[in-house]
Copies of this chain bind each other. A is one copy, B any other.
Amino acid sequence: MSTPLLVRALRGEPVERPPVWFMRQAGRSLPEYRALRSSRSLLQLARAPELTAEATMQPVRRHGVDAAILFSDIVVPLVGVGVELEIRPGLGPVIAKPIRTASDVRRLRPLCPEEDLPEVAEAVGLLRTELEVPLIGFAGGPFTLASYLIEGGPSKTQATTRAMMFGQPALFCELLERLAGIAAASLRAQVQAGAAAVQVFESWIGSLSRPQYEQYVAGPTRALFDQLTDLDVPRVLFGVGTGHLLEAMAATGPDAIGLDWRTSVADARERLGPGIALQGNLDPAALLAPWPVTEREARAVLVDAPETGYIFNLGHGVLPSTPPETLGRLVELVHGHKLEAIA
């Protein structure tokens, strides 16, 4: 079997056109997903292999994207190691007992995927036989997972998280190392079951200054990537509002960086050089506008994109109110992109 387009692009190899997929392509923007969810919680869906596989395949069927991403949530591995939490609709994960002390941190045990989350590998196995495009495995990054655990839920500026970072740096470091281990174990299991690439969603690192990121988060992130090097799959690191962190993120060892809509692909390429692939970064809000506006904004992203080492995506997850037709038209636009350029 030839190497999939997505994997070649992530490796910086020659491609005929950029691959395209969307963060949160499996989810509430699709009526068929909302039907699947109607009588179930997100966590129920993410822990039932057939349903996980179905949710994962829906956007591939409907939009013709070049990659699937496992339907799940970054907190699933935390559930696997026994953290009590629920995902509240419209809010996000809420942790029953937020982590604040050394004994809280030390209760966070390593993840044994085959024991703790066998359903994830099972879902990936099902997808391996059914999908015609590569599957992206994913996990939350150590800082982002820590922020949910420390804050007790979603937070606007992660101030309580940074307060622990300042006030209990050794404990904070231990927490991030544990979480990096959990994320790495989860990703390893997904790759061993068939995922062809992985993405680390380190969504909220943008709340850190660069010195803070380098001092407290870069190390555990590097440890995470190091634990996956032998698997020979490309690894993407994504965060929101990370224009000030790109070089430090790149230095942790990923094969690709996911950009949000505030850093242009051209700027990122200039800063990071051609040795690392770039993914992004159409503003998801542009998909709520009439198609000519969406198209104009998408073309502005594509014009900036390098010929190799580039994957088209949004700058953050698909918004639930996005018309599915718009996602389909975007896929068509990207699929026609290089062909047009050559003709």
Contact = CB atoms under 8 A, between A and B. Distances in A.
A166 B289 contact: yes
Nearest to A286: B166
Contact of A285 (B166, B262, B286, B297): B166
Contact of A159 (B154, B208, B262, B285): B285
Given A167-B289, A262-B208, A284 B159 contact: yes
A279 B133 CA distance: 51
Interface string A191-214: 000000000000000111110100
Contacts of A163: 285-286, 288-289, 319
Interface in A266-314: 283-286, 288-290, 293-294, 297
A293 to B, nearest CB: 5
User: How many copies of this chain does the complex contain?
Assistant: 2
B167 A209 contact: no
A29 interface: no
A209 B157 contact: no
Interface stretch (A1-9, A182-190, A236-244, A329-337): A236-244
Given A209-B262, A285-B159, A167 B244 contact: no
A293 B297 CA distance: 45
A24 interface: no
Interface in A140-166: 154, 156-157, 159-163, 165-166
A11 interface: no
Nearest to A285: B162
A167 B293 contact: yes
A157 B262 contact: no
A138 interface: no
B240 A243 contact: no
Contacts of A212: 283
A316 interface: yes
A293 B154 CA distance: 26
B167 A290 contact: yes
A227 interface: no
Given A166-B297, A167-B289, A261 B159 contact: no
Interface of A: 154, 156-157, 159-163, 165-167, 206-210, 212, 240-241, 243-244, 261-264, 283-286, 288-290, 293-294, 297, 316, 319
